């Protein structure tokens, strides 16, 4: 049993970096929406002292071009594929799931319920998951935002609505100002804050959700070493995803995979998977679902 390493959605394009994608156990696409999107105007990335901000705004070719053109090319990579989908209403999500259902190249659909850079669907996360559940028999992961008072409550609601797993966490809204002009460094103002600063927040979310629901969790947020990955696994994740670190180090997955095992062995466990949930005192934490 191993701890799979994925990329975080939106942090890798396998078509411009096939070799990088092939270092992963699963490739997750950037979020696809029903219609093509150009995204937000640039500048839409900026470094901060302890993380980065982005306001990409889900630039993507739309589901039609994705199914016709992108997906067949992704399938040739030989890496299991997860497709991240996003929309602006329950209908959008249901439609996307229906269209993806017939495509055997796709193993899992990740519902992006948490992009801080676009308008949100008016429905709750649970309503969207329920509609997606109706629309597809495929494995469904719900990707949640850390920007919520009680993420465990949302986790329970999406579990009840039929989610098969959780992806935790998306970015949280942040802002930086240029030191000389005092204008926001991103054209759009605020953006999604990712990277090292997010790590304790992500860890708290994984820890809380692992207690609340019995679903597999992909943990992410600031992971750049095996020790970070192991912490997420100990908090309850069964897989980890790499986001921002891939920009600085495209082949980081190879290093993190080795370091994760080394860290586990140094702590007296046979593998990283063996320490899953160990941050929890409760003994009821033995029966954990795998990815």
Task: Give the DSSP H or E segment for 182.
Answer: none
Interacting positions 12-41 with other proteins (CB under 8 A): 12-13, 15-17, 20, 30, 38-39
Q: Does 185 bind ligand FMN (CB under 6 A)?
A: no
User: 3-class SS at 143?
Assistant: strand
The answer to whether 23 contacts ligand FMN (rule: CB under 6 A) is no
Distance between CA 246 and CA 195 in Å, rounded?
10
Q: Strand 217-219: give its sheet, edge to edge.
A: 5-7, 239-242, 217-219, 165-168, 139-144, 106-112, 81-85, 27-28
Q: Does 54 bind other proteins (CB under 8 A)?
A: yes
Residues 59-118 that bind a copy of itself (CB under 8 A): none
Q: How far is CA 124 from CA 127, 128, 255, in A?
A: 5, 6, 38
Tell me, by CB under 8 A, how many residues bind other proteins. Answer: 31
Q: Is 197 in the site for a copy of itself (CB under 8 A)?
A: yes
- The answer to whether 258 contacts other proteins (rule: CB under 8 A) is no
| Nearer of residues 56 and 159 to other proteins, judged by Cβ | 56
Q: Which residues between 245 and 284 bind ligand FMN (CB under 6 A)?
A: none
Strands (E), 8-113: 27-28, 45-47, 52-54, 81-85, 106-112
**Is there a contact between 63 and 99 (Cβ–Cβ < 8 Å)?**
yes
- In the set 97, 115, 205, 209, the catalytic residue is 115
By the rule CB under 8 A, 201 interacts with a copy of itself: yes
| Residues whose CB falls within 8 Å of the CB of residue 149, separated by 6 or more in sequence, listed in order | none
Task: Identify the helix (H) or strand (E) that includes residue 191.
Answer: strand 191-194
Largest CA distance in the chain: 55
**3-state secondary structure (DSSP) of residue 199:** helix
Helices (H), 77-124: 90-101
Q: Residue 200 interacts with a copy of itself (CB under 8 A)?
A: yes
Minimal distance in Å, beta carbon 114 to a copy of itself?
9
**115 belongs to the catalytic site:** yes
Site track 19-58 with a copy of itself (rule: CB under 8 A), x = hit? -----------------------------xxxx-x-----
Q: Both tokens of residue 118?
A: 């676009």
The mark string for 159-178 relative to other proteins (x by CB under 8 A, - otherwise) is --------------------
**DSSP count for the chain of H helices, then E strands:** 10, 12
Q: Please say which residue, 143 or 188, places its beta carbon nearer to ligand FMN.
A: 143
Binding site residues, other proteins, CB under 8 A: 10-13, 15-17, 20, 30, 38-39, 42-47, 50-52, 54, 56, 59, 195-196, 244, 246-250
- What residues act catalytically? 115
Binding site residues, a copy of itself, CB under 8 A: 48-51, 53, 120, 145-149, 172-177, 179-180, 182-184, 189-190, 193, 196-197, 199-201, 203-205, 207-208, 227, 230-231, 234-235, 267, 275, 278-279, 281
């Amino acid at each position: 049993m191993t701890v799979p390493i994925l990329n975080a959605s939106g942090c890798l394009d396998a078509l411009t970096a096939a070799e990088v994608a092939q270092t992963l156990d699963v490739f997750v696409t950037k979020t696809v929406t029903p219609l093509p999107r150009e995204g937000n105007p640039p500048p839409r990335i900026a470094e901060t002292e302890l993380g980065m901000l982005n306001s990409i705004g889900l630039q993507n070719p739309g589901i039609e071009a994705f199914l016709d053109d992108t997906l067949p090319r992704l399938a040739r990579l030989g890496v299991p594929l997860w497709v991240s989908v996003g929309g602006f209403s329950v209908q959008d999500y249901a439609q996307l799931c229906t269209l993806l259902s017939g495509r055997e190249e796709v193993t899992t659909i990740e519902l992006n319920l948490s992009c801080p850079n676009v308008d949100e669907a008016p429905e709750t996360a649970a309503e969207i998951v329920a509609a997606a559940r109706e629309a597809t028999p495929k494995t469904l992961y719900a990707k949640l935002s850390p920007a919520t008072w009680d993420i465990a409550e949302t986790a329970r609601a999406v579990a009840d609505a039929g989610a098969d797993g959780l992806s935790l966490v998306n970015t949280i809204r942040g802002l930086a100002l240029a030191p000389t002009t005092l204008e926001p460094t991103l054209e759009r103002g605020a953006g999604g804050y990712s990277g090292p600063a997010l790590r304790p927040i992500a860890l708290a979310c994984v820890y809380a959700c692992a207690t609340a629901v019995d679903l597999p969790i992909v943990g992410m947020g600031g992971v750049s070493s095996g020790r970070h990955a192991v912490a997420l696994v100990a908090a309850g994740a069964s897989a980890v995803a790499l986001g921002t670190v891939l920009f600085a180090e495209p082949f980081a997955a190879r290093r993190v995979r080795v370091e994760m095992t080394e860290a586990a062995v140094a702590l007296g466990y046979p593998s990283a998977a063996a320490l899953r949930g160990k941050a929890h005192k409760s003994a009821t934490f033995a029966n954990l679902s795998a990815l």
